[in-house]
């Protein structure tokens, strides 16, 4: 299947999915939760579900590739990788202690608009999970050095090669470049450009963390066999000391004015 047909097929599937989603017969999702905002601006959302003795802990930061500047593309995702390489208080691999307490699903993702980190733990390991998340929100930078940056830069660059060196691997990168005008924050892919990843520096790491990883720019979601008020008290204990971070101006976006037809021939 050529790249144009592949792209057209994916768009058609997406439109069909959207049509199904907004159908009048669609089931409305409704579940109970409680929302709290700490004094430092951290938003906490708690959903009680006692069907199993486990707890899901998710932290969402309001920052993604749209917050990058031209020449700094791919940095939001690169920084996500650095969040798994130890902190000032626990300078070791993030996954090892979660394995020891029976944690599962530890990971993180980055897209245009947000970055998130998540895990599921037994209910008796909730304090541990909250401490680990609060520690990297509040005490990350002292553990990041040039060696760790270079290591994760290489990992991300290999991800980029793996994604692009396969059939149709560059279709969506090319599509976004043609849909959004140069300079639009959605005109580059989340993985970024190789030369920008190569140029990322420790100063970029410090600036990104200090600007976007404050408590007021995050939402913590806890769902599982818990009580909301108890979770609130625990979160205040572990996260309450973390600075809010600087006031942020949300990245402006706009709907591009598409005029005429854009055509580009790709060859893998």
Is 131 a domain residue? Answer: yes
Is 16 a domain residue? Answer: no
Please report the pLDDT score of residue 82 as a whole number.
98
- What token pair was written down for 70? 């031209």
For the purposes of burial, counting CB atoms within 10 Å of the CB of 187, is it exposed (0-12), middle (13-18) or buried (19 or more)?
Answer: middle
What residues form DSSP beta bridges with 58? 118, 221
Is 75 a domain residue? Answer: yes
CATH for 136: 3.30.830.10
Q: Give catalytic residue positions.
A: 80
Is 51 a domain residue? Answer: yes
How many domains does the chain contain in total?
A: 1
What residues form DSSP beta bridges with 224? 48, 55
Please report the pLDDT score of residue 24 as a whole number.
52
Is 254 a domain residue? Answer: no
Please report the pLDDT score of residue 26 as a whole number.
63
Is 17 a domain residue? Answer: no
Q: Please list the pLDDT of the chain residue by residue as tens digits (268 residues).
A: 443 334 444 443 443 444 444 445 567 778 899 999 999 999 999 999 999 999 999 999 999 999 999 999 999 999 999 999 999 999 999 999 999 999 999 999 999 999 999 999 999 999 999 999 999 999 999 999 999 999 999 999 999 999 999 888 888 888 888 888 888 889 999 999 999 999 999 999 999 999 999 999 999 999 999 999 999 999 999 999 999 999 998 776 677 787 778 788 887 6
In a 13 Å sphere around the CA of 94, the CA atoms on its Cβ side amount to: 25
Is 248 a domain residue? Answer: no
The domain containing residue 139 runs over which residues? 28-239
Please report the pLDDT score of residue 25 as a whole number.
59
Is 179 a domain residue? Answer: yes
Please report the pLDDT score of residue 30 as a whole number.
81
């Amino acid at each position: 299947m050529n790249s144009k047909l592949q792209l057209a097929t994916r768009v058609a599937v997406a439109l069909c999915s959207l049509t199904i989603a907004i159908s009048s017969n669609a089931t409305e999702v409704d579940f109970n939760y409680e929302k709290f905002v700490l004094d430092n601006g951290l938003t906490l959302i708690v959903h009680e579900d006692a069907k199993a003795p486990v707890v899901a802990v998710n932290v969402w930061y309001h920052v993604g590739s749209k917050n990058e500047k031209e020449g700094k593309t791919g940095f939001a995702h690169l920084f996500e990788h650095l969040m798994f390489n130890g902190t000032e208080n626990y300078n070791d691999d993030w996954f090892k202690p979660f394995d020891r307490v029976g944690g599962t699903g530890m990971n993180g993702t980055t897209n245009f608009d947000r970055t998130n980190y998540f895990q599921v733990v037994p209910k008796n390991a909730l304090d541990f999970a909250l401490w680990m998340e609060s520690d990297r929100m509040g005490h990350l930078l002292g553990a990041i050095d040039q060696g760790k940056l270079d290591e994760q830069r290489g990992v991300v660059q290999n991800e980029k090669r793996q994604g692009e060196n396969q059939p149709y691997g560059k279709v969506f990168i090319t599509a976004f470049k043609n849909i959004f005008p140069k300079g639009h924050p959605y005109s580059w892919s989340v993985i970024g450009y190789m030369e920008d990843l190569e140029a990322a520096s420790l100063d970029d790491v410090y600036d990104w963390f200090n600007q976007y990883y404050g408590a007021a720019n995050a939402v913590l979601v806890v769902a599982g066999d818990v009580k909301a008020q108890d979770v609130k008290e625990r979160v205040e204990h572990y996260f309450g000391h973390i600075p809010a971070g600087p006031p942020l101006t949300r990245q402006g976006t706009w709907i591009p004015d598409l005029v005429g037809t854009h055509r580009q021939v790709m060859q893998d």
